[in-house]
Amino acid sequence: MNIRSIRLIQSIAIAACLLLLTTAPGAQEPAESWDGLKLVPGTKVAAAYVHPDADFRQYGKFVITEPYIAFKKDWKREHRDVSASEMERIKERLGHLFVEVFTEALEEGGFPVVTSTGEDVLVLRPALIDLDVTAPDIMTAGRSRTYVTSAGAVTLYIELLDGATGAMLARAIDRKAGRNTTSFQISSSVYNAAEARTVLKFWAGLLRDRFKEIHGR
């Protein structure tokens, strides 16, 4: 299967998960099950689904695939001065930052991030979607400073797969925004990256701490 096919399948899965979160009966409650996975109550994310037979104690290593990243709908229309190449640069930097932050957190918890799969390896397949960068730092002639109260927001969609068989074991989705402050901050690539790192560290910490609990660490 080529990369385009994998991306298409992942995009369909993301869309389906978003649909479940927004159309389930009740007060916007996520569906109880999806594709054989069961909703886990009481988590710190919007929704998490786990296979009933999954035993995560057998996994001590992770492989992190390249994150799929997509801006929110109409973001380009709202930021006409941002070129396609600059958008790709933002996505590339965010993807690298994701892998860096999650690698640091998992290895800090005693779970090595490796490059090959196996029976004791979990494949972490992430997507960062609905990316909304409030004021991207772009190189334009005569640009002026931009002041913001938040760097933006992004939705994390993540899948965990068995490293030997590729079987889907868990999915989770959550949305976070940068800190909303009462005072205005100067937007820059440094500021945006710092806010993104904070959000990613929160998610990475949740995953690390959960696996530490599973392994009794």
The CATH number for 208's domain is: 3.40.50
- Tally the domains of the chain: 1
The residues, any chain, with a CB within 8 Å of residue 200's CB and separated by 6 or more, are 97, 98, 101, 102
Per the structure block, which two tokens stand in for 34?
């999806």
In this predicted structure, the answer to whether residue 217 has a pLDDT above a threshold of 50 is yes
pLDDT tens digits for 145-162?
444 345 688 899 999 999
pLDDT tens digits for 88-136?
999 999 999 999 999 999 999 999 999 999 999 999 999 999 998 876 7
Q: How many Å separate Cα 91 from the centre of its chain?
A: 12
- Provide the β-strand partners of residue 64: 124
Per the structure block, which two tokens stand in for 162?
């068995």
- Torsional sign, CA 148, 149, 152, 158: positive
Overall residue count recorded for the chain in this entry: 217
In this predicted structure, the answer to whether residue 172 has a pLDDT above a threshold of 90 is yes
Q: How many whole angstroms separate alpha carbon 54 and alpha carbon 51?
A: 5
Q: How many whole angstroms separate alpha carbon 217 and alpha carbon 25?
A: 38
Could you tell me the maximum CA-CA distance found in the chain, to the nearest angstrom? 59
pLDDT of amino acid 5:
44
pLDDT of amino acid 192:
76
In this predicted structure, the answer to whether residue 51 has a pLDDT above a threshold of 90 is yes
In this predicted structure, the answer to whether residue 52 has a pLDDT above a threshold of 90 is yes
pLDDT mean over 48-67: 96
Phi first, then psi: give them for residue 123, nearest 5 degrees.
-95, 120
Strands 121-133 and 61-64: parallel
pLDDT of amino acid 119:
93
| Domain span at 155 | 3-214
Residue 31: pLDDT band (50, 70, 90) is confident
Higher local confidence (pLDDT), 105 or 17: 105
pTM of the model: 0.81
Share of the chain above pLDDT 70, in %: 73
pLDDT mean over 16-41: 66
pLDDT mean over 66-80: 90
pLDDT of amino acid 193:
81
Phi first, then psi: give them for residue 112, nearest 5 degrees.
-60, 145
